[in-house]
Amino acid sequence: MNIHYLTLFPEMYEGVLGTSILGRAKEKGIVSYHAVNFRDYSGNKHNKVDDYPYGGGAGMVLKPEPVFNAMEAMDLKSPRVILMCPQGRPFDQKMAEELSEEEDIVFICGHYEGYDERIRTLVTDEVSIGDYVLTGGELASLTMTDAIVRLIPGVLSREESHQEDSFSTGLLEHPHYTRPREYRGMEVPEVLLNGNHRLIEEWRREESLKRTKERRPDLLSDQ
């Protein structure tokens, strides 16, 4: 998979994409990351990428030329082109699973009051990562990248497997314990110590259900 970011702040990407599992996926050759500064594609000598809105009003609008020019320079065959904006469709695990099967993904990240409407003709999806406003799309695109890349076959090891993740099972995860068996008076539940795998599975399923009912009843009504 090749992931492209159209951004005015390519330096925001280096650390995150070079670290831990995202960095390892790149080293293994499973994924490549390309942060492109669309200011380099402004097409004007002052490298201007935004302008005042026609009709007046507050805030600046991202001009179409830098985004069209950068897209054309990338020359991708059939990319998913994702416009990062708080008005977009809410990102979720199902969308991450779907996107993890794509060959090319482009994230368009603005820092503006708005995008010139004509940019939307390049876009396949408009996506938000939640009901709050960020200063720009970069952190949202990194969040999505993390959720997507870990689902590509070969990225996670067996120990890191995602088969039992919250949201792919439809339930929140059960509690986990490791050594020591007793810590500051807090004990590991007896059922986890006795080696009866049927009982352990039953306990985990019940705890998952209990946790989901308490914290995210909306997930149960979705099923």
Residue stretches of the annotated binding site for S-adenosyl-L-methionine:
110, 129-134
84 binds ligand 6GU (CB under 6 A): yes
- E strands, 99-222, are 104-108, 114-115, 125-128, 182-183, 186-187
Beta carbon of residue 10, minimum distance to ligand 6GU (angstroms, whole number): 17
Q: Among the options 86, 97, 146, 216, which is catalytic?
A: 86
Of residues 89 through 128, those in contact with ligand 6GU by CB under 6 A are: 127-128
Q: Does 132 bind ligand 6GU (CB under 6 A)?
A: yes
- Cα distance between residue 113 and residue 103, in whole Å: 31
Lookup result for tokens 């068996």: 181
* Residue 53, Ramachandran bin (φ over 0: left; ψ between -120 and 50: alpha; else beta): beta
Contact string (CB under 6 A) for ligand 6GU, positions 41-80, x = contact: ----------------------------------------
**Which residue in the list 24, 150, 211, 216 is annotated as catalytic?**
150
CA distance 108 to 85: 9
Contact status: 137 vs ligand 6GU (CB under 6 A): yes
